[in-house]
Amino acid sequence: MIGIGEIGLDYYYDNSDRDIQRKWFREQIRLAKELDLPYGVHDRDAHEDVLRIMKEEHYDGAGGILHCYSGSVELSREFIRLGFYISLGGPVTFKNARVPKLVAGEVPFDKLLIETDSPYLTPEPYRGKRNEPKYVKYVAEEIAKIRNVSIDELAEKTKENFKRLFRL
Ligand SMILES: [Zn+2]
Q: How many angstroms separate the alpha carbon of residue 157 from the centre of ligand 1? A: 23
What is the structure's pLDDT at 100? 97
Tell me the domain boundaries of the chain: 4-166
Question: How large a percentage of the chain has pLDDT more than 70?
Answer: 100
Q: How many angstroms separate the alpha carbon of residue 40 from the centre of ligand 1? A: 9
For residue 106, is pLDDT > 90? yes
What is the structure's pLDDT at 31? 97
Per-residue confidence at 108, pLDDT binned at 50, 70, 90? very high
Using CA atoms, how far apart are residues 92 and 83, in angstroms rounded to an integer?
Answer: 23
**Residue list, CB under 5 A from ion ligand 1:** 6, 42
Q: How many angstroms separate the alpha carbon of residue 72 from the centre of ligand 1? A: 17
Q: How many angstroms separate the alpha carbon of residue 47 from the centre of ligand 1? A: 13
Q: How many angstroms separate the alpha carbon of residue 68 from the centre of ligand 1? A: 7
What is the structure's pLDDT at 61? 86
Using CA atoms, how far apart are residues 15 and 5, in angstroms rounded to an integer?
Answer: 18
Per-residue confidence at 77, pLDDT binned at 50, 70, 90? very high
Q: Concatenate the DSSP letters of all residues of the chain into one string.
A: ---EEEEEEETTT--S-HHHHHHHHHHHHHHHHHHT--EEEEEES-HHHHHHHHHHT--SS--EEEET--S-HHHHHHHHHTTEEEEE-GGGGSTT-HHHHHHHHHS-GGGEEE---TTSSPPTTSTTS---GGGHHHHHHHHHHHHT--HHHHHHHHHHHHHHHHT-
Q: How many angstroms separate the alpha carbon of residue 42 from the centre of ligand 1? A: 4
For residues 102 and 15, which has the higher predicted lDDT (pLDDT)?
102
Q: Residues 11-29: pLDDT tens digits?
A: 999 889 999 999 999 999 9
For residue 64, the cross-strand partners are 39, 84
**Do residues 43 and 70 lie in contact, with contact meaning Cβ atoms separated by under 8 Å?**
yes
Question: How large a percentage of the chain has pLDDT more than 90?
Answer: 96
What is the structure's pLDDT at 154? 97
Q: Which CATH number fits domain 4-166: 3.90.79.10, 3.20.20.140, 1.10.357.10, 3.40.50.1400?
A: 3.20.20.140
- Mean pLDDT, the chain, rounded, equals 97
What is the structure's pLDDT at 62? 87
